[in-house]
Structure 1
Amino acid sequence: MTRSENREPVGTAARMVAVMAKKLRVRKGLTQEQLGSRMGYSGAAISAMERMLHPISDEMLENVEEALGDGSGFFEGMRELVRMEKLPEQFRDYAPIEQTAVSLWLYANHVVHGLFQTEAYMRALIGGGYPEPSAERIEELVAGRMARKALFDRKPTCEIELVLDESVLLRPFGSQEVMRAQLLYLAECARRKNVNLQVLPLDAGLRGEYAADRGNLTVVETPQHDRVTFLEIQGESLLITDRTKVSTHMQRYAKIRAQALDPRESLGLIERLAGATR
C-alpha cells in the first residue's frame, strides 16, 4: 500500500482551515517558512497543512489562531469541528449526541467503556488494534477520546450509569501497572455523584437469568428527553431511534443492571482487583 493510501482523509472543516490560513498568510505577506518560524513549525509543515496532506493537529490549529487570527476567533471556533472529523467514521454521528446527553446507560463486556478509560489504557488499546494505526493517528484518536471526558463535569449534569462485565476488569492492556491505574480510575469514577458503576459478575449466568448475551449496549437520553440506542461492532455502528426497539433495549439494560453487583459491592471488587494488580 502506498503512503498516500495510508493518509487519513481531510474533512470539510480542516479544508476550510487550510484555505483560510493560506489566504491570511498571503495577505500578511508571509512565506511558509516565516509563518512556520512564528508558530514553531517548519515551512514544510505549513506547506503540508495548506496542501491538506493530512488533518491539522489541535496544537497547530491553536497556533494558527494566535499567528493569523487577529482576534477573529475563526480558527478557535473551528477546533471542535476539526476534532470531530478526526473521530472514527462510525462514531461521528453519535459523538454530538453523547456530548449533549441528559443521561447515559452503558453496558461494556469486552473493554472498559471509552468514557472511562485512562489515557495509558486507551493508548495501549488503540495502538494494539488492527489495522495498526500510525503514530499520528493514535495521537488523534487518544485526544478525541480524552476530550469526551468533559461530559463528566459538564453543566447541566449528565447522569451516567455503567455496567462493566467482570471479564473487562481481568483483561489487562499495556502492562499490569497500566491496568492497575485503570482500575483505580474506575474506582474514582464510581465515587462521582453523577455516576453509577456496577459490575456484572462472571457467574451471573448461574442464577437462571442472563440478559447480557447480546453484547455492548448504549442508550442515550437527549435534551428533548427522547431516547436513542447506539450499537458499535467491528468498525460499524447503528443509531436506533425506533421507540419500540429503544424501549426493548432499556428493558434489557434494566435486567443487566439488576443482575449485576450493587454499586458498593462493585466498588469493593474493583478496589480488590486494583490491589491484586501489581
Structure 2
Amino acid sequence: MDHFCIVTNTSKDREMEMTMHIKDYLEKHGKKCVIAEKLSGAVKEHRVERDFLSDIPENSECIIVLGGDGTMLQAARSAAYLDIPLIGVNLGTLGYLAEVEKSGVDDALRRLLAGDYEIEDRMMLYGDGCDKHDYALNDIIVTRRSALSTINFDVYVNNLFLCNYHADGIVISTPTGSTGYSMSAGGPIVEPSGSMILVTPICPHTINARSMVLAADTKISVVIREGRDGSNQEAVAYFDGSGQIDMNTGDRIEIERSDKTTKIIRLNRVSFLEVLGKKFDK
C-alpha cells in the first residue's frame, strides 16, 4: 500500500494529535497520505448525503478511520462507492469495527506496510425509495418522524405480503449490524461474517411479533400506510443512523443485499465472541 486516506472524528481527536502522528509516520516511510474532512454540504445525485465521499481520493488503497464504530459506519457508506478497505483506530469505548487501540497504532501501521493483515468482506444493504437510494453496513431503519405516535406499515418479502405492523418502526439489519439497534430491539446476535438479513420490529403493538432471519438474497419492501384515522403518516428511513429518506403515506422503500461490500482490514486474531464477551462484562 502506498496511498492512504485518514478519516477523523474531530470530536474524539480534537487537537488532531493522533491524526498527524499517523500521517507523519506514513510519510516518513515514503507513503502518500491525505486527511479527509467531513463535508458540510450535501452530495446527493439521487442519493442521500455522502459524508466524506468527495474528500476521499479514488486512488486511496486504505482508509484509516479514527473515532469509533459510528465513524467507521459513516466512512463505510462513502467507501462503498470506491471499493477501498478500511481499518479503524478506536478512540472511544470498546467497539466491534474499530479494532486498533491508541497504544497499538505504531505496530498496526508497521504491519500494514509489511502486508501483515487480512481483508474481511462484510455484506451491505441497498435501499431504494422516493427517488433516492443509499447503502448501509449496519442497518436501514424505518421509523416514525413524530416522537409521540406509532406508524402503520406493511412488510413484503420477495413481493409477497408478510404482515402489517403498528409499531415505532422496523430494523432491517446485516449480520454486522446485529449488535446495534437490532439487538436493542430484541433481534438475534449474528456472527458478522455471515450472509443473511435480519428483520426486527421496534416496539410493535402486538404480542406475537418476532424478529426474522431471512436469506441474504431476500428483497424486503416497507410500505407506509394511512394512520388509524385515515391521516397522512410521516416516517423516515435512516441508513446507518446517518443518511435519511423522508417518507409519507403511500411511499415504499425496497431493501436488498447490495452488490457492494465493506472491506475491513483485520490485524488481530481476537474473535467476535471474545469482543462480545467483553461487551457483556461492561
TM-score when normalising by structure 1:
0.26
TM-score when normalising by structure 2:
0.26
- The structure in which a higher percent of residues are strand is 2
- Rg bigger for which structure? 1
- The structure in which a higher percent of residues are helix is 1
